[in-house]
Structure 1
Amino acid sequence: MAETTVARTLGDWLREAASRAPREAGAVIAGRHLGYRELDARADRLAGGFASLGLRRGDRVCVVLDACPEFLAVWFGLARRGLVEVPLNPGAGRYLMRYYLGHAGATAVVCDARYERLVRECAPESVRHLIVLAEPDPGLPDLPVTLTRHRLSDLETHATGDLAEVDPADPAVILYTSGTTGPPKGVRLSHRANVNLARHTVGLMDYTTADRLYSVFPLFHSNARYCSVMAAIEAGAGLVLDRRFSAGRFWDICREHGITAFNYQGAMMSILFKQPPRADDADNPVRAGFGAPCPPEIFTAFEDRFAVRLTEIYGSTEVSIVTDMPPWRRRIGTAGTASRNYEVAVVDERDEPQPPGVPGEIVARPVRPGWMFDGYHDMAVETARSWRNLWFHTGDRGYLDDSGFLVFLDRLKDTVRRRGENISSWEVERVVAEHPSVSAVAAYGVPSELSEEDVMVAVVPAEGARVDPAQLIGHCEGALTSFAVPRYVRVVDALPMTPSQRVEKYKLRAEGVPPGTWDREGATDER
């Protein structure tokens, strides 16, 4: 599909895309409809509302919302005003939410009423405006004098007025990745990088006004934002966003809404494939799936069973679609070849290219400007380290075959991948270490029966203390995002350490789940 818009800022892009989309085109989000032209008008009004608060071009505004029409209106209203959106996981525990709000240096926070108490408890002094979707809960404590509360609907009553000039290279969003060996990093993406990714997705998938896209992923992830929401608007296609993935109802939902394409990631494909076969499995309107990874051992069988064709990609929040493998150019078991917008290589520890078939770190760089992130927010050292020798270092391990197809092997980063979510070992370890019975802890991933990994923690008891695994998990709940709460707790006398006192996690991973490990899903303690 040829590029049909010339706008490079999100505000201008939305105006153009909405005006050429069919009048009835829009999104169904958690059961509520929002037309694209209505979205454009609401973005105008909210841009004026944000301006009325004195928010200025470049100010950062955190968004703590579940998927809903208001989320989209806030997203594009902020962009039109020239503000930097910082969407956060509403399910984050207090520890991580406090880090996000403080590190982002936000001037304002938009949240649902159900998250207001959490935001109030965690907001730093830099936050001057709290914008909520409902009236205040009378049970909440008084606001500090430095913080003013507003209803989102009241901001939509303002005229748009004169808006700040927005440049395509301005930052539009900061998306926080999962922390690896350190705190989570805020990926700074420009307006044109967002627009470019949406257009790339539409061209790769050949989306048109006849399509209807479906996603179950949250709007604080790049997947749903740019490869579903913005891709649908760019193509003038319909869109359905659900807040949760239901394996049992997935195909019935697709039939009910006339879905023609869906996004996938994590263990989603394995879970769908493990559902009991039905006579009508292939009787659905879906033509295409987009994402990664579908395990190679079920790839062809999945396509045949559900009468769908899959397009796999490899990328990250920082560098979007580095490689792609559409149905007409595929080698199952790989992530495809370099996309038209990137160069890709595999290098050793000295950044020397590896020969075909030899593993190393996957690195990438765009072939033209405006296709990748502009750095990590307030992390200059990490930005420079990731971009050394003019290649973005993904922290992933793989190799290129003789034909240039990329084979992903594993992650060099210290993170756990569970059901499509990247979990910060750093965050898990900090929370577990706060428990008084724990002296030392290592968090890491072990293979899951649903593909990818589950979270395990190896803990050393404090002197004279006994670690109660069930109690430790109770300590984690609420402080950690729900999907980051460990499944396994292993009590050990000591952690394996290097001479420089770093935990040798590869040794722990190699031991898997030894007998005597406490399993939260089994709720048994065999020690």
Structure 2
Amino acid sequence: MQAGDGSAAGQRGASIWPQAAERFPPADRILSTILTRQAARYRDRMLFVFGETRWSYAETVSIAAASASRLLQAGISAGDRVGLMCSNRPEFLEIYLGCAWIGAVTVPINTALRGIQLSHVLRDSTPKLLAIESCFMPAIETLEKDVSSPQIVWTIGEATAAPLAPESILPLPPLGEEASPAAARPGDTVAILYTSGTTGPSKGVCCPQAQMFWWGVYSARALGIREGDVLFTTLPLFHTNALNAFYQALLNGCTYVLEPKFSASGFWAAARRHQATVGYLLGAMAVMLLGQPKSAGDTAHFMRVALGGGVPGQFHGPFLERFGVPLLDGYASTETNFVFASTIPSDRPGTMGFLVEGAEARIVNPDDEPLPDGEAGELLLRAREPLAFSTGYFGMPDKTTEAWRNLWFHTGDRVVRDADGHYRFVDRMKDSIRRRGENVSSWEVEQVLLKHPAIAACAVYPLPSELGEDEVAAAVQLEPGHAPDPVEIVRHCEGKMAYFAIPRFVRIVTAMPLTENGKIQKVALREAGRTPDTWDRDVAGHKLRR
């Protein structure tokens, strides 16, 4: 049943990504124009599928225009920010498309955020309207006292007990009349996506309309997407991966299939049901699929290729052998784009691949001087295409200047370029953690830990997991006369941060390793690894309260 076997699902059109830039000259790289033009071309072809919900290309234009009208009637206009805290469901895309239609800015919010993290996003972005799925309303109760709720709150889905005053909450209004698109420009911000920092709070990445266009072009090119493909994702829409997959489908005449969430046991059955030809996996997801019991259905599907960013190299071969699906290696970030891609299948599994056309890269020393091939240094990136990268961090001109100094984006990643132009990720230069596809700010976790009266000092750092990604570890130095156990420390974190940021490992130390300047030497903690006195939440069987 795989796509290359001559079946109906395998007979797809040729790749058409090279024509995207020609069909949409710079001024037309805005979502309303792309939607309208593609609807005229594909009309009744299915664009979006979610459960029983199906939108054709033509219907999607009407939904975007009606969603825009709903926002305008609520007083939202171009440049206003709309917070969106919603799981994978059609209403998410409705609101995103409506905002883009009138030039408003969507602020997707990770549905796991609580406490200090959620407070920062709302305090920083100051949305005029918050659309929130009803099941996430209890998160509002965890906000810090100085954070005021937006002027308008729309609830999505069945109502639950609300922590806000009833008069400030309305159910999501139904779609009605349609509005004309605004005169947006390619450089206008269409979304602000928050990505975790290292030595400070998360930064809001300003994504212009044209950047999302180029995400669709570059990603489709790397994956070899063809007209008529069925793109299947279970990743959350509040991250750029699933969001830009919608653009991949839209630009290439494909169907975008969205599932509520990833299920290792149900992934292949769903892919088979939708006749998916392209899939999207990150890190541990491929490892989890390999961990499922083998069955005859392992190759009974139509999938031709899957994105495998972050999947450890040793799992590529077994994945291809078992499921018949090659994994694409690559490298991307919210601030940049899909700028590195491997061959299909990857010629050197688990690495970054080669630099794509349209981007420039340098490996440099701390003074931004280029280093020779084979020597590790910081990866710097620059776009050749106009507005293919982010325009900066929202409300943080100092951080924007720092990251884009010398007109290059400084990734904070240590990378090696081989003599043949192949790039390899070595490690992160800064103190960041990536767990199950989520970036974790060690600084934010430390701020929560330090509010515990028994904790005098702490350091949060990554330790490797069995699935090839990071796990969050915390070293804790206690105040004299206090003796909380690791369970109490973890309980202190619950409800105050996203569940994925809560430490799995807790190590209580008598003193922190310090540098000559008195700073905590996290590298020593990382290198020590799982010491005999490191408590492991998974081994202890502690279940988090979300």
TM-score, normalised on structure 2? Answer: 0.90
**CA distance in 2 between partners of 1:106 and 1:120 (Å):** 18
**Structure 1 residues 154-303: aligned runs within 5 Å:** 154=174, 156-160=175-179, 164-226=182-244, 228-303=245-320
Aligned residues: 519
Q: Give 1:364 deviation, angstroms.
A: 0.9
**Structure 1 residues 440-519: aligned runs within 5 Å:** 440-519=457-536
Counterpart secondary structure, 2:281: strand
Percentage of pairs with the same residue: 34
Match of 2:88 among 64, 67, 75: 67
Conservation of the 8 A alpha-carbon contact between 2:271 and 2:301: yes
* Partner of residue 10, structure 2: none
Conservation of the 8 A alpha-carbon contact between 2:359 and 2:384: yes
Q: 1:520 to 1:43 in 2, by over 3 A?
A: same
- Runs of 5+ in structure 1 lacking a partner? none
One-letter code of the match for 2:205? V
Q: Give 1:30 deviation, angstroms.
A: 5.5
Q: Give 1:235 deviation, angstroms.
A: 2.0
**Structure 1 residues 87-106: aligned runs within 5 Å:** 87-106=108-127
Q: Give 1:141 deviation, angstroms.
A: 4.8
Q: Give 1:143 deviation, angstroms.
A: 5.0
**CA distance in 1 between partners of 2:128 and 2:69 (Å):** 17
* Partner of residue 127, structure 1: 150
Give CA deviations for 1:284-317 in whole Å, capped at 9, x if unaligned. Answer: 2110112412322232332232212232211211
One-letter code of the match for 2:187? A
* Partner of residue 173, structure 2: 153
One-letter code of the match for 2:413? D
Q: 1:447 to 1:139 in 2, by over 3 A?
A: closer
**Structure 1 residues 22-61: aligned runs within 5 Å:** 23-29=44-50, 32-61=53-82
Q: Give 1:240 deviation, angstroms.
A: 2.2
Q: Give 1:78 deviation, angstroms.
A: 0.4
Counterpart secondary structure, 1:71: helix
Q: 1:328 to 1:120 in 2, by over 3 A?
A: closer
Counterpart secondary structure, 1:275: coil
**CA distance in 1 between partners of 2:474 and 2:435 (Å):** 14
Match of 2:42 among 21, 30, 33: 21
Q: 1:218 to 1:181 in 2, by over 3 A?
A: same
Counterpart secondary structure, 2:91: helix
Worse-superposed segment, 282-291 or 258-267? 282-291
Q: Give 1:481 deviation, angstroms.
A: 0.9
One-letter code of the match for 1:18? A
* Partner of residue 9, structure 2: none
**CA distance in 2 between partners of 1:278 and 1:18 (Å):** 40
Q: Give 1:478 deviation, angstroms.
A: 1.4
Conservation of the 8 A alpha-carbon contact between 1:52 and 1:158: no
Give CA deviations for 1:305-362 in whole Å, capped at 9, x if unaligned. Answer: 2212232211211111111113288444431111001011211111111111111111
Give CA deviations for 1:89-141 in whole Å, capped at 9, x if unaligned. Answer: 11111221111000112111111122234347639447211122257656645
One-letter code of the match for 2:176? T
* Partner of residue 380, structure 1: 397
Worse-superposed segment, 341-350 or 195-204? 195-204
**CA distance in 2 between partners of 1:432 and 1:51 (Å):** 42
Q: 1:301 to 1:141 in 2, by over 3 A?
A: closer
Q: 1:128 to 1:278 in 2, by over 3 A?
A: same
Q: 1:486 to 1:36 in 2, by over 3 A?
A: farther
One-letter code of the match for 1:443? V
**CA distance in 1 between partners of 2:345 and 2:204 (Å):** 36
Conservation of the 8 A alpha-carbon contact between 2:234 and 2:261: yes
One-letter code of the match for 2:50? I
Worse-superposed segment, 286-295 or 125-134? 125-134
Conservation of the 8 A alpha-carbon contact between 1:107 and 1:126: no
**Structure 1 residues 321-400: aligned runs within 5 Å:** 321-327=338-344, 330-400=347-417
**CA distance in 2 between partners of 1:352 and 1:34 (Å):** 51
Give CA deviations for 1:493-515 in whole Å, capped at 9, x if unaligned. Answer: 11112233321100000110111
Counterpart secondary structure, 2:380: strand
Worse-superposed segment, 318-327 or 183-192? 318-327
**CA distance in 1 between partners of 2:464 and 2:250 (Å):** 38
**Shift >6 Å, 4+ stretches:** none
Q: 1:197 to 1:139 in 2, by over 3 A?
A: closer
Give CA deviations for 1:417-451 in whole Å, capped at 9, x if unaligned. Answer: 11222111111111111122211111111111111
**CA distance in 2 between partners of 1:127 and 1:409 (Å):** 42
**CA distance in 1 between partners of 2:53 and 2:461 (Å):** 39
Counterpart secondary structure, 2:313: coil
Give CA deviations for 1:449-480 in whole Å, capped at 9, x if unaligned. Answer: 11111111111112211122112212212111
Q: 1:120 to 1:153 in 2, by over 3 A?
A: farther
Counterpart secondary structure, 1:440: strand
* Partner of residue 142, structure 1: 165
**CA distance in 2 between partners of 1:329 and 1:432 (Å):** 41
**CA distance in 1 between partners of 2:357 and 2:314 (Å):** 28
Conservation of the 8 A alpha-carbon contact between 1:30 and 1:68: no
